[in-house]
């Protein structure tokens, strides 16, 4: 069984910062460092979209244009954890955020095999 346990999130004001964490356990634990990790989000009545992706080593990252320069994805393979640091938050960042893992590098959510439980981020204006 693969588990991705998310933490962080909550209600903040525009301009504030939040950090999301996603810790792996189960079958993925011993091989976490070989997985691509991604953060996705889904706002009400919208499709799930990619926010940021990081490859197995951390040497390659991708950011959606809407978050570039404000969000940072990172990983600590020793702790089997991936992070999403979100700065200068805007109301349009309001969504449920999901972490995901896959053995291949990709940007489309349907490519990912394993998912966290989701965490709500709400940014008030």
Taking only the tens place, the pLDDT of each residue in 14-68 is 999 999 999 998 877 778 888 999 999 999 999 999 999 999 999 999 999 999 9
How does pLDDT run across 70-107, given as a tens digit for each residue? Answer: 999 999 999 999 999 999 999 999 999 999 999 999 99
For residue 2, is pLDDT > 80? Answer: no
Write the DSSP string, the chain: -EEEEEE--EEEETT--EEEEEEEEETTGGGGGGSEEEEEEE-TTS--EEEEEE-TTSS-EEE-TTTTTTEEEEEETTTTEEEEEE-S--GGG-EEEEEEEESS--S-GGG--EE---EEEEEE-
């Amino acid at each position: 069984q693969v588990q991705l346990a998310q933490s962080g999130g909550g209600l903040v004001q525009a301009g504030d910062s939040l950090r999301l964490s996603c810790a792996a356990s189960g079958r993925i634990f011993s091989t976490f460092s070989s997985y691509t990790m991604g953060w996705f989000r889904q706002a009400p009545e919208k499709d799930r979209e990619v926010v940021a992706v990081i490859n197995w080593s951390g040497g390659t990252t991708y950011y959606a244009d809407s978050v570039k320069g404000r969000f940072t994805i990172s990983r600590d393979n020793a702790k089997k954890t991936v992070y999403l640091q979100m700065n200068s938050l805007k109301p349009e960042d309001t969504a449920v955020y999901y972490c995901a893992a896959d053995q291949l590098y990709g940007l489309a959510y349907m490519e990912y095999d394993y998912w966290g439980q989701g965490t709500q981020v709400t940014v008030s204006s």
